[in-house]
Amino acid sequence: MVGVPAALHIGLVWIPAALTVGLSFAEWDNLAPLSDIRDVGFRNYWFIFTVFEGDLFGALFNNFVLIIWLTICSAVGMLFAYLLDKNIRGSRFYQSVYYFPVVLSLAVVGFIWKSTMFSRDRGLLNTLWPGGPIDFVGDGTKIFSFDLPFLDPALGLSKNFAALLVAMAWRHIGYIMVMYLAGLKAVDQALREAAAIDGCNEWQAFRRVIFPSLKPINVIVVVITAIEALRAYDIIAALNEPRGTDVMGTLVTKSLLGEGGGRVGFGSAYGVVMLLLCLGFIIWYVINHYRESEL
Amino acid sequence: MSDTAVVAPPAAKHKGPRVKPMRLLLYAFLTVMALAWLVPVGTAVYNSFRYWEADTQPNGAFSLPETLTLDNYRDAWNVGEMAKTFGNTAFIVIPALFFTLLLAAMVAYACTRYSWKFNIAFLVLFTAGNLMPQQVLFQPLFQFFKRMPWPDILSDTDTGSLLGTKIAVILIHVAFQVGFCTFVLSNYMKTIPKEIDEAAAVDGAGVWRRFFKIILPLTRPALAALGTLEFTWLYNDFFWGAVLLNRGDERPITSSIAVLNGQWASDFNLIAAASILIALPTLVVYLILQKQFISGLTLGASKG
């Protein structure tokens, strides 16, 4: 009974992941037969960290910005949930409005935003943005950048990527809000009353009583936020990867699907970097979750 | 009312006069935010009924329309070959959804009903697998599908392998989603009293019979919630449809966005109409089944 799904899951998820780790130490053109796979040790890693450092660190920087940004969005989502939990009249309505972008794919979100928010002539972001008209998702110039002594292209945040960040926030905030709303509903009323009797002001009650009692949700939100940021791909690929928006996800895919299919080793090495970053959060989540259930 | 649901009623009375403006501010904030949330879709819907070159481009997105038209929708539908790509989506999503829920329910049943040794180990495996970055699985899967013989008669390609078939996409969807669903369903099934199952066993019902006749009907609320959620997730998949299906017209609708985006560089109202069409199925499901949707999401979050 358990055999079929377990085999499917292990065979199509875990084994491929393990094989990718193996391929990251190999050189291979993916059109060639399997017997052509050559072991090259850490050479792929050496290449991506030195020769192609601009690609790798540029992508890592964007992922890093995304983690920070989505963390801020998560906090905003929590604030929304907290406010909506205050016996708001029409709370269902507000909840539906904030939440609806979550049912859309990030690819669609990108497409919708491109149509009316990003465009150079009539996009709404351009009306709000200081300075001349900017072709968001067409303008690779940086909003800010800084030089690192060992890195050739300066790291920085491109206007393109900033525009995508706004669109991603639109979706992420509602997602996190719903998670916290469910958590807040489950907070024991007695706890709140006890806090009030002890003379806590609102901030203290939240900080010391309500927030700690939301721990299971906090764990999930941290993981969702981090994994979403590290796995980001759809919105960038759907808009055909505007300049300056490379993240690890697009870097891996590009190397694997690139012309001639000759960079399997590189792509896999990029993939392993991405996997390692995710793995920390995955392990932390699994430990947190199952420690308390019934080990 | 107090401005804080947190504060007990007597305390609220003392600061009665200060409370009202705060409350008003709260409503104002929530309303302004709600309007801001609706702007991207609202303007997209509005302008999807207008011509770009003759109207929106010269006059702006918020001007009164010169004429309203359905031409953008007709063009988006025809040029984007949406009849075909929507069909592809249905061909992938319906079987994937069915098998995911069925298999996940089986595993969850086995894990929660029987004190089975690997119970937790498997759940850990599924949960962790669900959070893996898809890109990391892609190359080995691609090679596997390429070398997996598959009669062309059962697919719409002529490669003789699973590569480029929608079946490959369905397989990976099931393998990926079965983890999360197992996790949610096992949490739910833990709340069904074991005695029901045991009583049926005593009455002579076999494992399969108990599963289909007793456990599945009792799990229906969770299945409904999960089904709604999984529908949107499968519908929204971009990655697998894009990398496993090469030709643009073979892709499911969500994955075809990159193709459409490349074709229509500058007619933004056409893009608006297309994106509304693509968003419509999930939005309709959300509006009708909102409750299922949200409970599906929080089921995953709650602890069994």
Nearest CB partner across the interface for B275, out of A108, A192, A289:
A108
Domains, chain A, with CATH or none: 3-273 (1.10.3720.10)
| Whole-structure pTM value | 0.86
Instruction: Per-residue pLDDT tens, chain B, 304 aa: give them.
Output: 334 444 444 444 444 455 578 888 999 999 999 999 999 999 899 988 988 877 877 777 777 888 888 888 998 898 888 898 899 999 999 999 999 999 889 888 887 776 555 567 777 787 788 888 988 998 888 888 888 877 776 666 667 778 888 888 999 999 888 877 887 888 788 888 888 888 888 888 888 888 888 889 999 988 988 998 899 999 999 999 888 887 767 889 888 888 888 887 678 888 889 999 999 999 999 988 888 777 777 665 543 3
Contact flag B110-A1 (C-beta cutoff 8 Å): yes
Domains, chain B, with CATH or none: 9-74 (no CATH), 80-301 (1.10.3720.10)
Mean pLDDT for the stretch of residues A163-177: 92
CA distance B65 to B50: 7
CA distance B49 to B70: 6
CA distance A106 to B159: 32
Give the burial class of A237: count Cβ atoms within 10 A of its Cβ; 0-12 exposed, 13-18 middle, 19 or more buried: buried
Q: Which of residues 72-131 of A touch B (CB under 8 A)?
A: 80, 83-88, 93-94, 96-101, 103-108, 110-117, 119, 121-122, 124
CA distance B185 to B99: 14
- The confidence score (pLDDT) of residue A287 equals 84
Q: How close, in Å, is residue B121 to chain A by CA atoms?
A: 10
Residue type, B169: V
Place of tokens 């199925």: B281
Residues 6+ apart with CB under 8 A from B276: A112, B41, B44, B45, B48
Chain B hits for A93, CB-CB cut-off 8 Å, are 34
* More confident call, A261 vs B165: B165
Residue A195 touches partner B, C-beta closer than 8 Å: yes
Strand partners, A157: A144
Q: For the residues of B174-207, what is the DSSP string, one character each?
A: HHHHHHHHHHHHHHHHTTS-HHHHHHHHHTT--H
Place of tokens 């390692």: A276
Place of tokens 């008209």: A133
Q: Which two tokens stand for residue A145?
A: 């950048």
Query: For B127-165, b where at least 16 C-beta lie within 10 A, e where not — what string?
Result: bbbbbbbbbbbbbbbbbbbeeeebeeeebebeeebbbbb
Residue A287 touches partner B, C-beta closer than 8 Å: no
Backbone angles phi, psi at A157, to 5 degrees: -105, 120
Residue B31 CB-half CA count within 13 A: 8
State the pairing for strand pair A142-146/A26-27. Answer: unpaired
